[in-house]
Amino acid sequence: MCMGVLLAVLLVVSMPVVEALSMSDVRSTDITDSSAVIRWTTNESADSTVNYGLSPETATSLQSKPAAVTEHNVPLFGLSPGTTYYFKARSATATNFAEEDNNGDYY
């Protein structure tokens, strides 16, 4: 009688860890009567998009910068003096995206 030997081979494949894209320090700066700059930081290079409007529900105006960066700044021009604007910021890579809207309240 022949006894077979079972040999188990554990193959460990080293996969790169994909960290979720995250955003921090979202803020508005350089505010004038008709413009502002929206700034934020991401943990990896990504593009930059800002949706803005007169209320969170109407924040449909869009300004984007396609360059992949970690320090983001998106200028908004043509704003009306004395008017409150709401915005949310978004960044994306080829495989990830992150959006910051102040927990739904916008900034």
Q: At residue 9, does pLDDT exceed 60?
A: no
Give the pLDDT of residue 107: 85
**In which residue are the tokens 């894209």 written?**
21
Q: Which residue has the higher pLDDT, 8 or 65?
A: 65
Distance CA 5, CA 7 (A): 6
Give the pLDDT of residue 91: 95
Environment class of 101 (CB within 10 Å of its CB; exposed 0-12, middle 13-18, buried 19+): middle
Which residues make beta-bridge pairs with 76? 36
Q: At residue 10, does pLDDT exceed 60?
A: no
Q: Give the pLDDT confidence of 18-39 residue by residue, as tens digits.
A: 678 999 999 999 999 999 999 9
Give the pLDDT of residue 2: 53
